[in-house]
């Protein structure tokens, strides 16, 4: 899953970025409101973490502008813990959740995970499709027999995106856009390599190829 982190604090921003990357997310970073608004409109983010106190354009204005243009990307806002007015204004502007500063990184990660699952229509709790479960704490998969297999960072991001979108035809270019950050080489042909690696771990029939269209996860009998 690919996130945009909008935070201008020179200390907190890199800390959050590092924590998100360690949690298995591809992360782009913006440090001002105008740049963030443009990225949020152009790039296909799965979620945006948005600080409200931004230079050039306030976070609330950025969020309101996104929503006014029909941009429904899930947004978790960061705000000062004592500022309940900002929380209310954030929800009215279209925020999906908020985290008050200062915060524990574990809380932010938990809220991001919950919002992502809600936005994808996935139930809260471990991701499970066709007997395959994803352990998001250890970034590994568990099969029907309880056997655990470790995943590389890219394999984990790819499998999580598949499991959040079961039964959907996903093109190689769409997968690349949601598995890699902005600065990565999004060579869609490389995606075939990672899909084949996942097939070796989840079984050859769980990821179906639709010629000229892409892949479907969780379609054993299609």
Whether residues 197 and 105 share a domain: the answer is no
Whether 158 and 60 map to the same domain: the answer is: no
pLDDT in tens, 160-169: 999 999 899 9
Q: What is the mean pLDDT of residues 5-33?
A: 96
Q: Would residue 161 count as lying in a domain?
A: yes
Is 46 in the same domain as 154?
Answer: no
Residue 113 inside a domain? The answer is yes
How far does the chain reach from its first CA to its final CA, in angstroms? 26
**CA-based nearest residue to 52, from 23, 14, 93:** 93
Q: Based on the domain organization, do 109 and 131 belong to the same domain? A: no
* Cβ-Cβ contacts under 8 Å for 152 (sequence gap 6 or more): 197
Phi/psi for 49 (5° steps) reads: -100, 115
Q: Are residues 7 and 115 in the same domain?
A: yes
Q: Name the percent of the chain lying above pLDDT 90.
A: 64
- Could you tell me if 158 and 139 lie in one domain? yes
Q: Which of 119, 139, 157 is the last residue of a domain?
A: 119
Per residue in 184-214, pLDDT tens? 666 667 888 899 999 999 888 889 998 889 9
* Residue 222 in domain: no
Percent share of the chain, pLDDT over 70: 94
137 and 110 belong to one structural domain: no
Q: Domain of residue 55: give its range.
A: 2-119
The per-residue pLDDT for 222 is 41
């Amino acid at each position: 899953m690919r996130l945009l982190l909008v935070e201008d604090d020179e200390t907190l921003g890199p800390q959050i970025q590092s924590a998100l990357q360690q949690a298995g997310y591809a992360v782009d970073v913006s440090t001002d409101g105008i740049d963030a608004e443009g990225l949020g409109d152009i790039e296909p983010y799965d979620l945006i973490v948005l600080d409200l106190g931004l230079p050039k354009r306030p976070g609330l204005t950025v969020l309101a502008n996104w929503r006014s243009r029909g941009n429904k990307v899930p947004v978790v806002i960061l705000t000062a813990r004592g500022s309940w007015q900002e929380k209310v204004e954030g929800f009215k502007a279209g925020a999906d959740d908020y985290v008050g500063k200062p915060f524990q990184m574990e809380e932010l990660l938990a809220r991001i995970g919950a919002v992502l699952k809600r936005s994808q229509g996935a139930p809260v709790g471990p991701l499970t499709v066709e007997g395959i479960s994803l352990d998001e704490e250890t970034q590994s998969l568990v099969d029907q027999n309880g056997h655990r297999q470790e995943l590389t960072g890219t394999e984990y991001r790819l499998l999580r995106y598949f499991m959040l979108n079961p039964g959907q035809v996903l093109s190689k270019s769409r997968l690349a856009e949601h598995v890699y950050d902005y600065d990565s080489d999004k060579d869609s042909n490389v995606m075939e390599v990672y899909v084949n690696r996942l097939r070796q771990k989840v079984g050859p029939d769980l990821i179906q190829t639709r010629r000229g269209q892409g892949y479907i996860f969780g379609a054993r009998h299609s």
